[in-house]
Amino acid sequence: MTADRRRPKPPRAVKPRAEELTLTIEGIDEDGLGVAAHEGKPVVVFDALPGEKVVARVTHAGRYRVFATTQRILQPSPQRASRHPCPHFRNCQSCAILSWQYAAQLAGKQKRVADALAVYPALSKVAPGGIWAAPEGFGYRASAKLVVARKRGRPQVGMYRRGSHDVVDIADCPLHHPLINRVAAVVREELERRSISAYDANQRRGLLRYLLVRVSPTYDKAMVTFVTSERNYSEVTNLAKWLQRKVPEVISVHQNVNAGSGNVILGRETYKMLGTPDLIDKVGDVRLRLGPTSFLQVHHAQAARIYRQVRDWCDLRPGESALDLYCGVGGISLHLAASARQVLGVETVAEAVRHAQVNARMNGFDNCRFIAGDVEEILGDEFPLAEKPGAVVVNPPRSGCSQQVLSAIAAMQPRKLIYVSCHPDSLARDLAVLVEHGFRVAEVQPVDMFPQTPHVENIARLVCAADSPPTGATVPRRARGQR
C-alpha cells in the first residue's frame, strides 16, 4: 500500500483544561477555605484569604457549590505569610490556613467563635475572651493517624488529600512531633525493602492499612499501632522488631485488626506485640497511662492550660464533689481530685475508663470513681453521686450534648458548670439551651489547640441562677439540628 492511500490516524484526544475563574474572596468558611461567588453560586477556594483576588482552577462543580484551588494570586492579602515550612501543602491540603500569618489565624478563630455565639439571642451579650495563642505552632501534634498505601509499587505513608481517597506521601510533616516523623520514615523504608502489601480499598485486599503513632513529649517515648486487614503475626512482628531497632524510643507496639470496608480506622480487636502495653505521659499536673485507642488532646501545652483553667473555674469549696462527663482517661478529673471530696467520671469508652482508674491510683488519688456507659443513660438513672455536685464538667464530642444530658445537668443545679468544646457551633447551641434552663454564661475562652488548621477549642464557664427565673430565650429552629 502506498503512503498516500494509508488511512489517516485519528487526532489524539486532548484533555480539556480545567476551568479557571477570577474571584474576589469575600470570607472564609469553617474549614478554612476562602469563599467567593460566581454566577450566583458559592465557590470555596483552597489557599485563598479574605480580600484577595485570585485565579482559581475548578476541581469540582457541584449542583449547589463549586470547589477550586488557587493558581495565581492577583491581589494578595497583607495577612498572607511570605513563606511556610511545608512542601506538601498544596497536595495534602490538611492545614488549610497555613498561608495565614499566625496573628491573622488567631483573629479568624476569634471571629469564628464570636459569630457562632451571635446566632442566638440568648447569647447576645456573651463576647469570647481573647484567644490563647499556642506556644508551639509546629511540631506540636503528639499523635498521628497515617494512611498506608502503594502507588506504582512504591510505599506511601501519609494523609488522604482533602476530599479524596488519594494518599499523599508525607516525608516530614511540620505539625507532627519529630518522633512521629522518624517512625513514619522507618516504616516507609522497611515497606520499600519488604514485600508487605498495603490495603487497597477498591480491591478490598492487602494487609497494612494505617500507622498510628502516639508520642509522650514529656518522656520522649512512642507507642505504635499497625492497623491491618487481618490478624498477622510473622510479617507485622518482623516490621515491629525492625522499627524498635531503628527507633529505640518506640517502647510499645500493637496490632489492631480492621477487616471492615468502611472509613473507620480502628477495628474492635487490638493485640500487644512488643514492649509495654501502655504509654506513660504527663499533661499538666498529672501522669497519664494511655492505651493504643485512648483519646488525648494532641497539643500537650494547650491541654495542660485547659485542665488548669477548668480546675480554677470549678473553684470547689471544702466538702464539695465534682462530676466529669465524657472524662476520657481522667485528665480533668485528676486535676479536680486534689480539692474535691469526690470526683465521679463518666465515659462511654470502657478502655478509657480502665485507664482512668489506673491513672487515679498512679497519681495517688483514692477519691475518684469512674463509670463506663452511655452518659445519657447513666444520668437518666438514679443519680450516681450521693449529693449534688458543686461543679459539673462536660467535654463532649464534636456534636455536643443531647437535650437529655443538658436537662439532666440542669436538674442537678450545680454551682458551676464548665463546658469544654471542640466545635463552636455545637457549643453555642448547647449554651443557649442551658440559658433556657436557668444558667448564666459568665465567660467563653477560645484556645488555639490546632495552629495552622481552622479548628478552635473553647472553655465556657456557666453559673447556676437557681433563684432567678429562666431567661426565656429561644433557640432558632434552623440551629437546633446543627452539628
Active site residues: 422
Written as one string, the DSSP assignment of 124-147 is: TT--PPPPB--S-SSS-B-EEEEE
One-letter amino acid identity for 272?
K
Cell of 122: 440568648
Residue position matching grid coordinates 465515659: 347
The distance in angstroms from the start CA to the end CA of the chain is 71
Those residues with Cβ within 8 angstroms of residue 203's Cβ, 6 or more apart along the chain or in another chain: none
Cell of 392: 459539673
Distances in Å between the Cα of 318 and the Cα atoms of 308, 364, 415, 463, 472 are 18, 19, 13, 18, 34
Cell of 393: 464538667
Gap between the Cα atoms of 214 and 145, Å rounded:
9
Residue position matching grid coordinates 475548578: 58
- Number of other residues whose CB lies within 10 A of the CB of residue 149: 22
Q: Compute and round to an integer the Cα radius of gyration of the chain.
A: 25
- Number of other residues whose CB lies within 10 A of the CB of residue 83: 5
Say if strands 154-160 and 143-151 run parallel, antiparallel, or are unpaired: antiparallel
Gap between the Cα atoms of 302 and 28, Å rounded:
25
Name the phi and psi angles at 425, rounded to 5. -70, -45
Those residues with Cβ within 8 angstroms of residue 136's Cβ, 6 or more apart along the chain or in another chain: 299, 301, 451
Region of residue 458 (phi > 0: left; psi between -120 and 50: alpha; otherwise: beta): beta
Count the residues in the chain.
483
Burial group, residue 459, by CB count within 10 angstroms (0-12, 13-18, 19+): buried
**The dihedral of CA 188, 193, 199, 200: what is its sign?**
positive
One-letter amino acid identity for 454?
P
